[in-house]
Amino acid sequence: MKKICRAKRHPVIGIIGVILCLIPLLLMLGTGSVASIMTGRLLIDYLLPAELFYLILPGMVMMVYEAFRQKRCRRLLLVILVMAIVALAGCQLTAVWTGLATGQHPAEGAAWYLVIILLAVYDFAAVAAPAAGIYMLIGGRKDSQ
């Protein structure tokens, strides 16, 4: 029986995922640069990637799907996806449980630092996801299994 050769599929889902993850980052840098130029001070909304999680999450899921389809960078993208979800959920839950979200307690102390650290971890994952997706799309390391 003759083996049928499949044509190489284009990674459209992965490309769309990278674009979805880049939109909040580009908006953050764009609005931050305009505000910084207008005020003369450095102003960047580091909360914007968390506020636009509804764009980042589907983008990350699309990149993970493409990574499994291509058998490239699967663990890296899965770790970034889980890290983003856990960090953002932990940040929000900590803010709600400690009363920082409602304003019952002032923004100070260990709870405040924990919220900021978790938000920084989420922002790191939001930046790392499109970078890892681009690495996967340009032919990054093939997973062995």
- Statement: residue 144 has pLDDT above 80: no
Q: Is residue 81 within 8 Å of 122, Cβ to Cβ?
A: no
Q: What is the mean pLDDT of residues 53-80?
A: 93
- Statement: residue 5 has pLDDT above 90: no
DSSP 72: B
Q: What is the pLDDT of residues 68-97, one digit of tens each?
A: 998 888 999 999 999 999 999 999 999 999
Distance CA 140, CA 138 (A): 6
pLDDT at 1: 54
Q: What is the mean pLDDT of residues 123-139?
A: 93
- Statement: residue 106 has pLDDT above 80: yes
Alpha-helical runs (H) found in the chain: 12-39, 48-51, 53-70, 74-98, 109-137
Q: What pairs with residue 142 in β-bridges?
A: 72
- Residue 82, both tokens: 């889980």
**pTM score:** 0.84
Which among 52, 54, 68 is positioned nearest to 13, based on CA atoms?
68
